[in-house]
């Protein structure tokens, strides 16, 4: 179990060198977070994972006790989140990658079939309070470490729910906000050496989903869905990819296909771009790309440069 002041026995396990890559994966007790943490560890990363208890993280750490380390964190508690980052700074001296993955199901959430007025209003507290706000808080704390060291990668786990109605209204709102957050954080992080990107994952082959013995889920074939470890391998690759543009939203299946990254069984996951009506919203398609001649009417009226000129470009 991790504490704010790790014991000597804990510290002795965590041997890092200046070349050691250090990652934090939030919400790493199961599913995507668990697979990402294990894939990063297998790629040589020194990985911290958060969960509400060390017991919940035991399966993630099993067999990788010298490369994955638990942090007990309730992501609704800003003070505990800040303490976790202080702990990483003390124990490892750096942070190279933050994977914002923590998420919690609203009470009674079944995924499909409910309109927004049929759902409790307090769905907001989980889908926005944790599914969005916790990512912002963790990103703030990560930037406090990464910007001074002059390097780092922040990744938000988003989805195609940004593009088309999916699950619930609040789910789509939270995912779209993550994509916008990545784009705007990238603007603030320009010239710091730190990048921020959002990832659109397809259907994930979790242990729970596979246990149902289905061949497809809501029309999506499971044999070409994404393993949680596949997502981790994609993240490990893009964290070291000099061609990734900060602020972009990236479709994991398409990045994997372009870089030879496959599932645990060697299969290539397929993109859901067409099923959801198109690709990422950020960066937005510009008027120039659409062949439109757009004038800055504010600048023309005032004689001063418009806001778009002042903030454009990362």
Active site residues: 171
Q: Judge contact between 229 and 185, C-beta under 8 A.
A: no
Instruction: Establish whether the linkage from the previous residue to 283 is cis, with ω within 30° of 0.
Output: yes
Give the sign of the dihedral formed by CA 83, CA 85, CA 87, CA 90: negative
- In DSSP notation, the chain reads ---SS--HHHHHH----TT--EEEESS-SSHHHHHHHHHHHHTT-EEEEEES-HHHHHHHHTT-TTTEEEEE--TT-HHHHHHHHHHHHHHHS---EEEE----PPTT--SSS--GGGS-TTHHHHHTTTTTHHHHHHHHHHHHHHHHHT-EEEEEEEEGGGTS--S-HHHHHHHHHHHHHHHHHHHHHTTTTEEEEEEEE--B--HHHHHTT-SEETTEEGGGSB-HHHHHHHHHHHHT-TTPPTT-EEEHHHHHHHTT---TTS--PPP-TGGGTSS--SSPPPTTTTT-----HHHHHHSS--HHHHH---
DSSP label of 219:
T
């Amino acid at each position: 179990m991790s504490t704010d002041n790790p014991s000597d026995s804990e510290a002795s396990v965590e041997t890092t060198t200046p070349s050691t890559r250090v990652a934090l994966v939030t919400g790493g007790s199961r599913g995507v977070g668990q697979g990402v943490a294990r894939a990063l560890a297998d790629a040589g990363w020194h990985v911290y994972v958060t969960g509400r208890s060390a017991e919940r993280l035991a399966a993630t750490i099993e067999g990788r006790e010298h490369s994955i380390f638990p942090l007990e964190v309730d992501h609704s508690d800003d003070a505990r989140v800040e303490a976790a980052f202080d702990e990483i700074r003390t124990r490892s001296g750096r942070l190279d990658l933050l994977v914002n993955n923590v998420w919690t199901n609203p009470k009674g959430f079944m995924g499909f079939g409910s309109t927004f007025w049929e759902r409790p209003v307090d769905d907001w507290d989980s889908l926005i309070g944790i599914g969005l706000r916790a990512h912002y808080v963790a990103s703030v704390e990560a930037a406090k470490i990464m910007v001074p060291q002059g390097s780092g990668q922040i990744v938000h786990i988003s989805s195609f729910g940004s593009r088309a109605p999916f699950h619930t209204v609040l789910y789509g709102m939270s995912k779209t906000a993550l994509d916008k957050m990545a784009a705007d954080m990238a603007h603030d992080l320009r010239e710091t050496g730190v990048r921020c990107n959002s990832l659109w994952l397809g259907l994930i082959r979790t242990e729970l989903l596979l246990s149902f013995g289905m061949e497809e889920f809501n029309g999506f074939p499971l044999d070409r869905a994404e393993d949680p470890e596949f997502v981790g391998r994609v993240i490990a690759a893009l964290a070291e990819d000099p061609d990734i543009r900060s602020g972009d939203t990236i479709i994991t299946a398409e990045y994997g296909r372009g870089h030879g990254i496959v599932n645990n069984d060697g299969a290539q996951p397929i993109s859901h771009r067409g099923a959801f009506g198109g690709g990422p919203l950020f960066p937005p398609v510009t008027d120039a790309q659409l062949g439109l001649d757009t004038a800055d009417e504010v600048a023309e009226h005032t004689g001063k440069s418009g806001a778009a000129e002042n903030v454009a470009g990362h």
